Amino acid sequence: MQGRPRRAKRELSSEEIAERREETRERAVDSWVPSTRAGKMVKAGEITSIDDLFAKGLQVMEPEIVDVLLPGCQDKLIEFRKTARITRQGRSFSFRAAVLVGDKDSYIGLGTAKDKERYPAINKATRKAKMAIRKIRKGCGSWECRCRESHSVPFKVEGTSSSVRVMLMPAPKGTGLVVGENIKDVLRYVGIRDVWSKCRGNTASTLDFVAATVNALAATSNVKFSADMARKLEEKR
């Protein structure tokens, strides 16, 4: 007797995937019991924006803080590979995941994690990326462009990771992303549309390439800027 034919699994549309992610986020926020001072203030409604959180000198110690303050934050799997470690019992295999999160406006974070299973490794990396989220300053720093829109980096910045060194330079409007394919999503996740770049080192290493770019973008908030630079930054006056 032949068994019943199995039904083919229907692929979910992008709208259905987004709905399921939103439902998962809402369930996680509803069941969240904060254990840090910042988390308790966010849960109580005392802090309503992530800018306010950083202005108070607090850090993101729980990923649910980002889920509450940046509900539109998206994530992308940058790298996933199987790793091996030699032990007395033989080879011990695990998975390493690298996840990028961003709100496609001003915040971005990168996290890596290992686990013996695939999905736990991705979930751990996503949580770490949310806790490592940083604010990025944008502007129109190119001398060829005076549009005063926040479409590029405000000034030249440089970031490193291992042997990789990435330099991002302001570009006029309409230039596009003149960078390697592996880091275009990094710039899109903070809303940068035009930029020039110069890279050195082993850029074939995707994780180091992405980490160096995130490091360069984070430098836009670390630099002490003059009054002339302030006019190029994305600030409400």
CATH number at residue 57: 3.30.160.20
Is there a single domain that holds both residue 83 and residue 192? no
Residues 38 and 119 in one domain: yes
Q: Helices in 113-169 by DSSP H: which ranges? A: 118-131
> Which of 21-30, 77-86, 148-157, 203-212 shows the lowest per-residue confidence on average (mean pLDDT)?
21-30
Same domain (yes/no): 51, 104 = yes
Tell me if 164 is assigned to some domain.
Answer: yes
185 in a structural domain: yes
Are 79 and 24 contained in the same domain?
A: yes
Give per-residue pLDDT as tens, 82-128: 888 777 777 778 899 999 999 888 899 999 999 988 888 988 999 99
30, part of any domain = yes
If one counts the domains in the chain, the total is: 2
Same domain for 122 and 186, yes or no, is: no
Band of pLDDT at residue 166, cut at 50, 70 and 90: very high
- Give CA–CA dist 171/178, Å, rounded: 9
Q: Which of 135, 168, 189 is the last residue of a domain?
A: 135
Give the separation between CA 202 and CA 185, rounded to whole angstroms. Answer: 19
Q: Are residues 27 and 124 in the same domain?
A: yes
Instruction: Classify residue 7: in a domain, yes or no.
Output: no
Asked if residue 6 is part of any domain, the answer here is no
pTM, to two decimals: 0.82
Query: Any bridge partners for residue 177, and if so which?
Result: 195
The residue that leads in pLDDT, 187 or 83, is 187
Q: Which domain holds residue 90?
A: 14-135
Q: What gap in Å lies between CA 175 and CA 173, rounded to an integer?
A: 6
Specify the DSSP class assigned to residue 179: S
Q: Are residues 170 and 218 in the same domain?
A: yes
Please give the Cα distance from 76 to 15 (Å, whole number). Answer: 16
